Amino acid sequence: MEPQPASFPDSLPVSFPISFLSDYGLTDEFVGVVHGVIRRIAPQVPVIDVTHGVRRGDLRGGALALVRAVQYLPPGVALAVVDPGVGTARRRVALATAWGYFVGPDNGLLAPAAAMTGGVERAVSLEDPRFRLPADGVTFDGRDVFAPAAAVLASGQAALTDLGPEVPPASLTPLLLPLAEEAEGMVRGQVWWVDGFGNAQTNVDPDDLRGIGLAPGDRVAVEARGARHELVWAATYGEGPAGVVHVDSYGLVAVAVPGGRADEELGLVEGTAVAFGAAR
């Protein structure tokens, strides 16, 4: 496949945006090259850069970033590439959902966001050579396989089933995310994400805290890494200068240190086990 096949029209009346997420970073040219491939195939298609700051190979971090973002993205195509298994036998897939299409590796990265948007209705393995860039190497599927597939789907130059054989949605690789649990009057969960300000989002829902008798304004004991911290359940950062428990913009319980970083001051890095309870 050439970047812009001669058999395809130069422009089409309908196009949808591509939302692009990866762990490529911005040091190398990888993000720009993927943009270039999309532009050559479908110049009318806008591309939204969701993030390229996912830690290299961090499937869970990439999947959670996609889940957080997709509910605010315009329907279209989500191109997600966090792919530590590139070049192996793992499948390259495109998924159809009620929201739109997800394109990327079948390694669990796409599964939570596809589930959030109503579940996978149809899935294909990206095997048709007409919709790939010719390359001797096999380590840049973002450029050679996923970008062309996303571009032709977003521009209407190909249907999902043109891209390869259908695969059963039930055969797709899941990504199991841990759930918070209540035990001995505590809600035990895990830090899912630390944002650029050092705020630590957990997998705990505010209803989990209400279930053990806590309410906004209460003092909350936060236990992590063998230490215990007493913070206030606040609506804003300014309500607890030493640190706050709050419901973040995605509706989950998070811990923040106003003017500081919860990850550094409280040791709340991604994957840290954390427990919430009533302060004595």
| DSSP codes joined into one string, 17-51 | -EEEEES--SSSSHHHHHHHHHHHH-TT--EEEEE
Looking at residue 4, its pLDDT comes to: 38
Among 6-10, 113-117, 186-190, which is the least confidently predicted range?
6-10
Element (H, E) at 265: helix 262-265
Tell me 142's DSSP state.
Answer: I
Cα 73 versus chain centre, distance? 12
Q: What's the rounded mean pLDDT across residues 88-117?
A: 96
pLDDT at 3 over 50: no
H-type helices in 77-214, by residue range?
111-116, 141, 147-155, 206-211
pLDDT at 176 over 90: no
pLDDT in tens, 20-39: 999 999 999 999 999 999 99
Distance CA 266, CA 223 (A): 9
165: tokens are: 């054989």
Looking at residue 14, its pLDDT comes to: 64
- Return the beta strands (E) in 45-100 as ranges: 47-51, 77-81, 92-96
The percent of residues in the chain predicted with pLDDT above 70, rounded, is 95
Looking at residue 5, its pLDDT comes to: 37
SS3 content of the chain, % helix, strand, coil (to 5): 25, 25, 50
Half-sphere exposure of 139 (CA within 13 A, CB side): 3
Q: Domains plus CATH for the chain?
A: 18-171 (3.40.50.10790), 181-278 (2.40.30.90)
Looking at residue 7, its pLDDT comes to: 35
Looking at residue 87, its pLDDT comes to: 83
pLDDT in tens, 116-162: 999 999 999 999 999 999 988 888 999 999 999 999 999 999 999 99
Binned at pLDDT 50, 70 and 90, residue 280 comes out as: confident
Is residue 251 within 8 A of residue 261, CB to CB? The reply is: no
Is residue 275 within 8 A of residue 214, CB to CB? The reply is: no
Residue 136 identity: D
Distance CA 15, CA 245 (A): 43
pLDDT in tens, 254-277: 999 998 999 999 999 999 999 999
Looking at residue 13, its pLDDT comes to: 43
Q: What's the rounded mean pLDDT across residues 67-71?
A: 95
